[in-house]
Amino acid sequence: DIDVIIITGYATVETAVDCMKLGAMDYVQKPFTEDELLEFTKKSLIKRQDKIQKQLKPRVHIAHLTEKEKLGAGEFSIPGGVFISDGHCWLSLSQDGSGRVGIDDFAKKLIGKITGIDFPNLGMNISKGQPLFSIKQGNRTIQFLSPISGQVKSINHELAEDLEALDFTPYEKNWICSIDADKLDSELTQLKIGKNAVNYYQDEIDNYIKLIKEIVKKDSSEPFELQWGQLEKLEEKDWYMITGEFFKK
């Protein structure tokens, strides 16, 4: 991938337009001084780095994926009609006012391998923002906070017997528990859905990349590859710092 800059002493509007149509990065007319050329080169380098960064930026899709479908590296999915909480739980509502809850694609892909789930107690009353369930990775544990208030109606114990199903999708039948909601009118407005959820994911991805670069001491101007299960490789203090920052809110 090479960026082309046209430098000419015979500039015309027609050739400038043609060059840009054919993919030239810029079109420069002589004469110019050495300092002007140096400044132009610096700006062109910044443009190129920005272009590369945008190409590497993970994509977020609103999609309906079956269990057998899987997004490629650098992609996140949010099913249509699903609400997303600040702490990366998803909520899917039923006609009876109950809602199934699980961890979203952002959480699953950053966490990586999940070795266990601590389910809530059946029948327990929960308020929005209180600890609802925990995800285990070896001897490490992440608490996830309830996206809504209500009473725990059912538990998906089948998921505990097939945790690898979460590697395909954390949505659909891979829910963790369902809640009989009692404050939906006021609490739904605090969740994200559709375009708002996509924008939230993009902000969270940017924040995560910034934090992880600081941890691994990587130059912030260099392109960064987001890897699934990246948290697995972190030391314990960094692991808890990252999980607390993104999932306990």
Say what the pLDDT of residue 243 is. Answer: 95
Beta bridge partners of 118: 134
Q: What is the reported pLDDT for 144?
A: 98
- 111: which DSSP letter? H
Place of tokens 């043609």: 18
The answer to whether 150 touches 187, Cβ cutoff 8 Å, is no
Q: Residues of 28-49 as b/e, b for ≥16 C-beta within 10 angstroms?
A: beeeeeeeeeeeeeeeeeeeee
Predicted local confidence at residue 227, as pLDDT: 76
The beta strands (E) that lie in the chain are given as 5-8, 26-29, 59-62, 75-78, 83-84, 89-93, 98-103, 116-118, 125-126, 131-137, 140-145, 150-155, 177-181
For residues 144 and 132, the answer to whether their CB atoms sit within 8 Å is yes
What are the pLDDT tens digits along the chain (249 aa)?
688 888 998 888 889 888 888 888 888 888 888 888 899 889 888 887 777 665 556 678 787 555 445 555 568 999 989 999 999 999 999 988 899 999 999 999 999 999 999 999 999 999 999 999 999 999 999 999 999 999 999 999 999 999 999 999 999 999 999 999 999 989 999 999 999 999 999 999 989 988 988 887 755 555 566 778 889 989 999 999 999 999 998
Contact by Cβ (8 Å): 86, 197: no
Residue whose C-alpha is closest to residue 82's, from 67, 61, 96: 61
How confident is the model at residue 73, as a pLDDT?
A: 52
Q: What pLDDT, on a 0 to 100 scale, did the predictor assign at position 49?
A: 73
Alpha helices for 22-80 (secondary structure H): 34-56
Q: What pLDDT shows up at residue 64?
A: 58
pLDDT of 122: 97
Q: How far is CA 176 from CA 72, 117, 122, 200, in A?
A: 25, 9, 12, 23
**Topology of domain 59-195, per CATH?**
OB fold (Dihydrolipoamide Acetyltransferase, E2P) (2.40.50)
pLDDT for the residue numbered 40: 87
Taking the C-alpha atoms of residue 217 and residue 234, their distance in angstroms, rounded to an integer, is 13
- How are strands ordered across the β-sheet holding 125-126? 83-84, 89-93, 98-103, 177-181, 150-155, 125-126
- pTM for this prediction: 0.74
- pLDDT at position 23, please? 81
Q: Where in the chain do CATH 2.40.50.100 domains reside?
A: 59-195
- Cβ–Cβ < 8 Å for 11, 27: yes
Q: Are 115 and 136 in contact (CB under 8 A)?
A: yes
* Whole-number pLDDT of residue 57: 64
